[in-house]
A and B are shown apart, each in its own frame.
Chain A
Amino acid sequence: MIELHQISECVWEIPKTGKMLVPGRIFASAKLIHDIRKDKSLEQVMNVATLPGIQKYSIAMPDIHWGYGFPIGGVAAMDVETGVISPGGIGFDINCGIRLLKTPLTVDKVKNKMKEIVAVLFNNIPCGVGSEGVAKCSTKDLQNIVKKGAAWAIENSYGLPSDIDHIEENGCLTQASLEFVSDRAIKRGALQLGSLGSGNHFLEVGVIDKIYNSKVAEAFGLFQNQITIMIHSGSRGFGHQICTDFLDKMQTALKKYEIYVPDRQLACTPLASDEAHEYLSSMAAAANFAWTNRQVMMHKTREVFESVLGVSQHEMQLLYDVCHNIAKFETYEIDGVQKKLCVHRKGATRAFGPNVQETPEKYRHVGQPVIVPGDMGRSSFVLVGTEKAMNQSFGSSCHGAGRQLSRREAVKQAKGRAIYRELEDKGVYVLSKGRHTLAEEMPQAYKDVETVVDSMDIEGLTYKVARIRPLGCIKG
């Protein structure tokens, strides 16, 4: 059994052993740790701790679970001079992320129309295996999408100009380029702009049923009984192909730069190398595609709400869009010195505290909104970043509930049950494309997200602002 030392109520440390360069640090309650021990995720935390240039800790969030290479819920910050970039530490779905759209509507205005809303959303927003997007684009379009990110969508009438101010990095990483992106990735991307995809991606209509912090909720424009929409998706086949291509290149880089990794999925290259430059510009291209993808789907969602409920598109404002599979260059204090680091977040959300320049001006006095989806049957949360997260977790928080059942086990446990009916009995209308999707994604397949966000709250890395109860959901 992996040795774990409890540092405080929700902080645990794996001591530095073997080839680990830093200790592991897990933010989770004792109950969550008991479950986390059941899979190989802690071993993966230790593997990440061996990567060259890693600073302070190999970190895991309370929603940590067994991934490939990095654990899902992992954070690793690398020194830009001595460290590496690992495409597996960002994942295949580059800039998989989530956004929350606010409406002026309250639950009493929509509860009798939920079935219709879900059906119209399902018909208007492509989802499912290999689904083609609503906004097919040419290679020329893709060049502009990569260059401009979400702004491309707004220029092409998919959204409001103000949306840009409410997206991490304003929806565009400036180092993005198609120069090192394969034709295969371009082909996959061109087909899929404006589509949810499958797996755990979703679009969910919900209602705020609890406000924890009225001052922050007010700053975020959130109120009791408010109808909201969450959109969770990423860079689709474009990002997947970029990661696949660069994982292959990194296998060669391991030999070239004589880097040892305990798992080939962690294959990496020095941040100062040409290979890193090529990957980072391509990763940024996929990130910009993902922001555009979510922007296009949000526009379609606004159209649906306008047509079904008569609410003006301008009245539906974006709270924020966060990415949870990404590498970012950020500056943190290490041993009393300000250092530029490359922060890998694989299933973790940036959670900047108050008075940080990167946070939108209207939220800067309270901190960055952090959106944490739960499951289809229970709840999701809006949190706010804190100063403590900047010191303890490289400005990071959790990204979801985290799976507790494998997809196979979930399907087994769902056998003979009508999950859609169980959800409908709870007042949640769900439509999905895939035969096993609802079983694989049923609420019991996930940890209770409230226990996850509470672990962060107890340690003061993020604070709860509002809870959202699901009303309707579409899935691939």
Chain B
Amino acid sequence: MRRAQSLTWSRLALAVSAAILVAFIGIPVGALIARGFIQGDVLAALRSPVATTALWLSLATSAIAVAVAVVLGTPAAYLLARHAFPGRSIVDTLIDLPVVLPPVVGGLALLVALGRHGVIGGPLDAAGVDVAFTTGAVVLAQLFVAVPFYIRAARAGFESVDRRLEAVSATLGAGGWRTFRRVTVPLALPSLIGGAVMCWARALGEFGATIMFAGNVFGRTQTMPLAILEAIETDVDAALAIAIVLIVLAFAGLLAFKALARLGGRVL
């Protein structure tokens, strides 16, 4: 009897603390969406030039950032998952660094390296190539903060592939590349796609590094988060509308990620 009672109390405590957290995240998000729809006209605001321009720029830059992350991050993740090499833990930590670093610091670092007087930016400038404060800089800023999310997921995916399957593939006449394409990648695919989704969601929400390294230029570097900053002073409805779009995209991305994780668990 006592035991049953204490069990009920502990359950109640768990439920209350969980409810507080859900409310803490849910209420602001819900309030924002409610206010956008009740007080303003979200759909009309979304058709404003500020919103549409920012939306397309965000979708284009984040898509390119994810593509680059996949092309460069996949071999890096495979290397980290399958091979020991000197300095591996340092490389590993360096790749994770942007996750914990304030994005503004990342943007500043990019600016110092790729700005007009930077170590790489200097020679590029001499060759007539400007990087900072261009749309390209937006992509680089997004890549910088978002690529660790892809590499971490891809690495975990590669590590989960049974090495004996790769060994068997080799004894069946498949070289390294064929084994990678036909065994390793298909089996790690849920993780690879999940990582790409997380990477994309992070790139889409990128703010600090972008404003530092690419500035906030309408039509060129003003992505959705940056457009919110500007619109909040001139057109609150537009700011709310863009925020709602970001919330919806992020939510959909997370749902997709979780669905893929479940799918991966079932297939393998």
Genuine A/B complex:
no
B→A interface (CB under 8 Å):
none
Q: Give the interface of A toward B (CB within 8 A).
A: none
